[in-house]
Structure 1
Amino acid sequence: MKKIISTIVVTVAISMLAGSAFAKPWRWSGNQGNTFGWQLMTAEERVTHQTKMRTFTEYNACKEYVDEHHKQMEERAKEKGVTVPVMRQNPCDMMKARGILK
């Protein structure tokens, strides 16, 4: 009986370690539904924005960048005479809630 319990414990431990080794960490992924001004950005700007968003580790730096990005997109929208859809959730708040940002 002791041997069976030991085998089960070892099997569970190995399974847990293997699972965590293959688990992908969540990363922010920009898209039309979560990126303010998506329709006003070039494909290259979208990639650059997504890459930049993934570099943040501090909430304040992320928030500062996102606020500046919003100002730029609002200016572009005004120049083009279009309305930018309201963002549902701030990506920095979402990343902070997931423990990605401090």
Structure 2
Amino acid sequence: MRSRWLVMTLSGSLLLAAAFAAEARGPWRASEDNTRGWQFMTPEERVEHQARVRGFKTLDECRAYKQEHHRLMEQRAKEKGSAMPSGGRDICAHLKPAN
């Protein structure tokens, strides 16, 4: 009986830990597939970028950051003689009002 209780307690704890870990990651993860200029960012900048994008509360602040980020990445690409990839996901879309 005690071993069954222990297994149930451990299982519950693992489920809670997994739920909190998933919540901590948030809904969006920056990656080379969805972040313009990924190849021109340091690992630390990538982490900071992801945290900033997750933290925006208004569409205007998100758009201002996005514009500055793209300007900086285009500058880095030019310095390295590379072309900046176009397209990608709108990182501010989640802040647009629903119609």
Give yes or no for the alignment of 1:91 onto 2:91: yes
Q: State the Cα RMSD in Å.
A: 2.4
Is the contact made by 2:59 and 2:96 (CA closer than 8 Å) also made in structure 1? no
Tell me the SS of whatever aligns to 1:50. helix
Q: Distance in 2 between matches of 1:50 and 1:31?
A: 9
Q: Distance in 2 between matches of 1:89 and 1:98?
A: 17
CA offsets, 1:5-36, max 9 Å, x none? xxxxxxxxxxxxxxxxx695952211111101
- Give the structure-2-normalised TM-score: 0.68
**Per-residue deviation, 1:97:** 5.4
Give yes or no for the alignment of 1:58 onto 2:64: no
Alignment of 1:22-33 (within 5 A): 24=23, 27-33=27-33
Alignment of 1:1-102 (within 5 A): 24=23, 27-93=27-93, 95-96=94-95
- Number of residue pairs the alignment of both structures matches: 77
- Give the structure-1-normalised TM-score: 0.66
